[in-house]
Amino acid sequence: MIRSLFSGASGMKNHQIRMDVIGNNVANVNTTGFKGSRTNFQDILYQTVRYPSAGDGTVGGVNPSQVGLGVMVSSITNNTGEGAPQTTGRSLDLYINGNGWFVLSTDGNMVDGTGQTNEAYTREGIFYIDNVGNLVNSSGYNLCDVDGNPITLEVSSSGVATINIEKDGYISYSLLDGTEYEDAFQIGLAMFPNQDGLERDGLNIYRISPTSGEVSGGAYGTPNSGGYGSINSGFLEMSNVDLTDEFVNMITTQRGYQANARTVTTSDQILEELLNIKR
């Protein structure tokens, strides 16, 4: 009887975690570059009430008899599949069509793809030019080139008039004074042995973890070649959350929680009957 109480309680606790994950997915359905998560369950310990035995030709074999002790969350996995593109018409809105992650430096220094504290990765392609010419995201982190160096435009003499970014990541721009810079920088992209293993750090950025591995090949790749996706200016990657799937998961999670709550309630009623045997 006590076992069923604790099994039901474990089911309620872990279905609540699953609902938390679903709630975060739904909340970020319109977050640019967001990647959804999924909760996976596994059963836990078993108590053996009868051990198995092999048949000896006279007496047949007996299967083991075991009582389970509930459920636990085995993992919360990232779904790093590509989201749908949305057109914006803005030159510094960038969409990676295919594999790869934008490389960010959080302190303005060079990054090398080995998981240092100043490097981060994202699929959110919203970038700006700050007052000194740095190409930064909405958190002020620098976008890096194929060598891992932060991209800084030359704006000391005049402001930027036009900027053009090709599918292979090359940046060309002109200043208000008429100075032109052709193929001044090339945006770098990163790939990983296991991109699902990247660690979320909030603000639409990811960090290298022991399970993701360091940047593939030990170097950043060039867009639109060698398996890396192309960069499309004037587009953004939307969230890959599918609301249909999330609502179905929400229903099954709610029913799972209710079923486990009913297990706890029924176990309590049986215990009450046991206590009332002797009046």
For residues 36 and 14, give the distance between their C-alpha atoms in angstroms, rounded to a whole number: 18
Please state, in angstroms and rounded to a whole number, the distance separating the CA atoms of residues 222 and 8: 52
User: For 142-175, what is each residue's pLDDT tens digit?
Assistant: 999 999 999 999 987 788 999 999 999 999 999 9
Q: What does the alpha-carbon distance between residue 272 and residue 268 come to, in Å, rounded to a whole number?
A: 6
pLDDT surpasses 80 at 28: yes
For residues 218-244, average pLDDT: 97
Alpha-carbon gap, residue 7 to 263, rounded angstroms: 8
**What is the structure's pLDDT at 1?**
62
* 13 and 263 Cβ atoms separated by less than 8 Å: no
CA angle 39, 45, 51 (to 5 degrees): 145
**Average pLDDT score over residue span 208-227:** 96
With a CB cutoff of 8 Å and minimum separation 6, the contacts of 266 are 4
